[in-house]
Copies of this chain bind each other. A is one copy, B any other.
């Protein structure tokens, strides 16, 4: 990938499906069950655009180099969940994650969102992700001990949006 290629973020297209699966596979941190869930949410979104799951793809030219999925949280006013954010390992360090995050931020602010939640693993292989969320302005708000398995906690990051920025 040429490093000068500009990263563009837009709504995911049906034909991004295979690339999204491939990026999730290459990321190397997701279990089989998690990868199935990515496809399930993507297919739900394609079949019912009002499902509440919003998808973004990051592109370098024609190539998909990252994706993100978020949506409104049930039972809460102005709260959103970030379900997945993932950058192709080849494209890391080029601001792909930051660009995806900024696109979601803009959408959430646009919808007068109050907060975004990220439920993720506190395991060692997720440390780079945790540091990324903190750089994006998220607070580490909770830790559920031994959630995924003994020794692997769940951590919850929250980004609060000031409605008068």
A43 at the interface (CB under 8 A from B): no
With a CB–CB cut-off of 8 A, which chain B residues contact A158?
144-145
Mostly, the A contact residues are: strand
With a CB–CB cut-off of 8 A, which chain B residues contact A150?
114
CB–CB B160/A144 < 8 A = no
Which residues, 22 to 66 on A, are CB-close (under 8 Å) to B?
A: 31, 33-34, 37
Copies of this chain, tallied across the complex:
2
Q: Mark A132-154, 1 if CB is under 8 A from B, else 0.
A: 00000000011111111110001
Q: A142-B144, A142-B156 are in contact. Are A149 and B76 (CB under 8 A)?
A: yes
Q: A37-B74, A74-B37 are in contact. Are A146 and B31 (CB under 8 A)?
A: no
* Chain A contacts to B: CB under 8 angstroms: 31, 33-34, 37, 74-79, 114-115, 117, 141-150, 154, 156, 158, 160
